Amino acid sequence: MADSEDIFLRAKQRTFSGLTEDVEHEWRGPFYFIQAADPQLGLMKAWKDGDCDGGGDEWAEEVELTKQAVEAVNHLQPRPRFMVLCGDLVHAMPDTPFREGQERDLKAALKGMDPSIPLVFVSGNHDLGNTPNDRTVEQYCTAWGDDYFSFWVGGVLCLVLNSQLFYDASACPELKEAQEIWLEEQLNKASSATELKPKHILVFQHIPLYLKNPDEEDDYFNLQRIVRQNLLDKFKKAGVKAVFSGHYHRNAGGCHGGLDMVVSSAIGCQLGEDTHGVRVVVVTDSDVVHRYYSLEQLRMQGVDEDLRKLLQA
Ligand SMILES: [Zn+2]
């Protein structure tokens, strides 16, 4: 593997080599990370042209926005422990004309990331196809690393999931089954641990469990109710603190029964009134506190004083 590819292929064999596992098992006090979603190179043009299926033949705007995000994050002091991109890295679906160029240009923009801030990738519906199959999942893993895996950071267990296998696994039921078994194992291990007990458990996936309310109707932007309820039960039982997602291109979410469902707007195309931005997430001994920042605001002002205070506790 070429050196330049290293930052994109750190998730292998269901773990993540961007952080040193044994050191990271230990809680050493509060820290923060950056959560972002949907750079989705190509959507802004496709949306403007009213052709979200076949359009998206230009993506210079999203490249610029991604570079702005990288620059803003690079300037933060203290440094975030990592930055996670919660899916829809590019707009072009697998095997469509602009895919290769969009992936190439996104990688080029992300190479500007400070090497001390590991990038964590999450797969979205556009990355895998709305109905993924063995081949599209394989293609994603070759380009960006595993589609689901776990890692530790400062005593916190992070689970990265492939939400497309929850949404529609009709063309790859065995992959869905494998992720479910793996997830069950991860959650059981974490909740029954005596040693290596995580301070918190966090989940990252592209499609939100829900947008505002756990009982809301199914739609394009959330997971189907039966799947949602099943995951909510599992997560709550295991003590998962928060689920971070994207996909909605707007900020949303809610906290129910102690589980925070966080929906972050996009680096790229906005479908609501939010700004192009990323989320700052502070993890303390007892809490996970987060706030969405516009790219401009983060670059000009950095992390707010009250959040920085939490890091000193
Ligand atoms: Zn999406």
Q: So what's the pLDDT on residue 109?
A: 98
CA of 296 to the centre of ligand 1 (A): 24
CA of 120 to the centre of ligand 1 (A): 17
Quote the ligand 1 centre to 207 CA distance (angstroms): 7
Per the structure block, which two tokens stand in for 3? 């050196």
CA 208–ligand 1 middle distance (angstroms): 10
pLDDT reported for residue 66: 98
Tell how far the Cα of 245 is from the centroid of ligand 1, in angstroms.
10
User: What is the whole-number distance in angstroms between the Cα of residue 148 and the centre of ligand 1?
Assistant: 16
pLDDT for 195: 83
What is the Å distance from ligand 1's center to 72 Cα? 24
Ligand 1 center to 185 CA (angstroms): 27
Q: Return the structure tokens found at 115.
A: 């090497």
Q: Please give the distance, rounded to the nearest whole angstrom, from the Cα atom of residue 223 to the centre of ligand 1.
A: 12
> 88 alpha carbon to ligand 1 midpoint, in Å?
5
CA of 220 to the centre of ligand 1 (A): 9
Tell me how far the alpha carbon of residue 90 lies from the centroid of ligand 1, in angstroms: 10
Closest C-alpha among 202, 305, 299, 214 to residue 252: 214
Number of domains in the chain: 1
- 305 Cα: distance to centroid of ligand 1 (angstroms): 33
pLDDT in tens, the chain (313 residues): 445 558 999 999 999 999 988 889 999 999 999 999 999 999 999 999 999 888 899 999 999 999 999 999 999 999 999 999 999 999 999 999 999 999 999 999 999 999 999 999 999 999 999 999 999 999 999 999 999 999 999 999 999 999 999 999 999 999 999 999 999 999 999 999 888 899 999 999 999 999 999 999 999 999 999 999 999 999 999 999 999 999 999 999 999 999 999 999 999 999 999 999 999 999 999 999 999 999 999 999 999 999 999 999 7
Task: Tell me how far the alpha carbon of residue 94 lies from the centroid of ligand 1, in angstroms.
Answer: 14
For residue 89, how far is its CA from the centre of ligand 1 (angstroms)? 9
d(CA 34, CA 279): 6
Residue 201: name the closest of 232, 234, 239 by CA.
239
pLDDT of residue 2: 45
pLDDT per position as a tens digit, 67-123 = 999 999 999 999 999 999 999 999 999 999 999 999 999 999 999 999 999 999 999
Distance, in Å, from the CA atom of 179 to the CA atom of 199, rounded to the nearest integer, reads 24
User: Over the chain, what HEC string results?
Assistant: CCHHHHHHCCEECCEECCCCHHHHCCCCCCEEEEEECCCCECHHHHHHHCCCCCCCCCCHHHHHHHHHHHHHHHCCCCCCCCEEEECCCECCCCCCCCHHHHHHHHHHHHCCCCCCCCEEEECCHHHHCCCCCHHHHHHHHHHHCCCCEEEEECCEEEEECCCHHHHCCCCCHHHHHHHHHHHHHHHHHHHHCCCCCCCCEEEECCCCCCCCCCCCCCCCCCCCHHHHHHHHHHHHHHCEEEEEECCCCCCEEEEECCEEEEECCCCCCCCCCCCCEEEEEEECCCCEEEEEEEHHHHHHHCCCHHHHHHHCC
Domain that holds residue 243: 3-311
Residue 273 CA to its chain's centroid (Å): 21
* Token digits of residue 206: 């592209």
- Residue 309 alpha carbon to ligand 1 centre in Å: 34
Check which CATH number belongs to the domain holding 196 and give it: 3.60.21.10
Q: Which residues of 78-106 are buried (b: 16+ CB within 10 A; e: fewer)?
A: eebbbbbbbbbbbbbbbebebbeebbebb
Cα of 125 vs centre of ligand 1, distance in Å, is: 5
Quote the ligand 1 centre to 127 CA distance (angstroms): 9
